[in-house]
Amino acid sequence: MLELKPMPINSKDVTWIEEPEIGFWEATFLPAIVKGLKTTLGHITQYQPVTQQYPEVRPELPQHYRGLHRLNRDEKGRVKCVACMLCATACPANCIAIEAAPAPPDWPDRDKYPSTFVLDELRCIYCGMCEEACPVDAIELTHIYDVTGETRQEMVFDKLKLLEIYDETKDNPKDPVRTGRGRLGPASEFGALPTLGPATPVVREDRAAASATSGVIGPPPPEPGKR
């Protein structure tokens, strides 16, 4: 068995600190009281309140504030969601539940739609990852922050509630619809995915830089006139 020996301590490397002695005035706590009163008087004479008189005064929220969710509609008034489950997969709080169903015959631009879409607003951490993950810009977070409920069930929003929030906020300049590209959003515009440049630079002489097939991530092509 390996025996561990204590290392020698050099007295020059140790700084000894003695406990300070409490004098008569320190024992009465009068200096500490005077110091505290001085701080209090400083706040009184230099009064700079920061409290907002809510709800009489409504706060001005920043543009990137994330509040209550909404489900967007397309130009025909239908729910934009295509039930791809990406928002529920990306959600770190696991507060989204979706049931997919085949799209009606008069919806030829999609295969599925959400028959049920449930979002627990009390469980949500309002990180915005569902909004980032959605490929058709169907779910967005609004500036609504003062939502309340007497029971937990009232804070579980279904598809109808989320669509009502869209109808309420779509014309609000603080909550504009963030995209109008394509019938379903930018994801519907893709025909073929382009070759992407790698996040980490790849030396062109390296074997990993040779793209064997089309669509494989490889280094960016050289500029004209350069090798």
Distance CA 176, CA 214 (A): 39
Beta strand 69-71 pairing with 139-141: antiparallel
Question: Domain map of the chain by residue range?
Answer: 69-176
Give 141's strand partners: 69
* pLDDT value, residue 222: 59
Q: What pLDDT score was predicted for residue 200?
A: 42
Mention every residue, 6+ apart, whose C-beta is less than 8 A from residue 5.
none
- Please report the pLDDT score of residue 23 as a whole number: 87
Which residue from 154, 148, 134, 145 is spatially nearest to 79, judged by alpha carbons?
134
Tell the burial category of 46 from Cβ atoms under 10 Å away from its Cβ (0-12, 13-18, 19+). Answer: exposed
Position 212 scores a pLDDT of: 47
CATH class belonging to 69-176: alpha beta
pLDDT single digits (tens) 147-185: 889 999 999 999 999 999 999 998 888 887 765 444 444
Do residues 162 and 192 lie in contact, with contact meaning Cβ atoms separated by under 8 Å? no
pTM of the prediction? 0.59
pLDDT for residue 226: 54
Q: Do residues 185 and 80 make contact, with C-beta atoms less than 8 angstroms apart? A: yes
pLDDT by residue for the chain (227 residues), tens only, comes to 556 666 677 777 788 888 888 888 888 999 999 999 999 998 888 877 778 888 898 888 887 888 999 999 988 899 999 999 999 999 999 999 999 999 999 998 889 999 999 999 999 999 999 999 998 889 999 999 988 899 999 999 999 999 999 999 988 888 877 654 444 444 445 455 444 444 444 456 554 455 544 344 444 555 556 55
Q: Where does residue 112 rank: exposed (0-12), middle (13-18), buried (19+ CB within 10 A)?
A: middle
| Rg of the chain in Å (alpha carbons) | 31
Q: Which two tokens stand for residue 100?
A: 């997919």
CA 139 to chain centre: 13
As to burial, measured by CB atoms within 10 angstroms (0-12 exposed, 13-18 middle, 19+ buried), residue 30 is exposed
Cβ 195 vs Cβ 99: under 8 Å: no
Beta strand 112-120 pairing with 69-71: unpaired
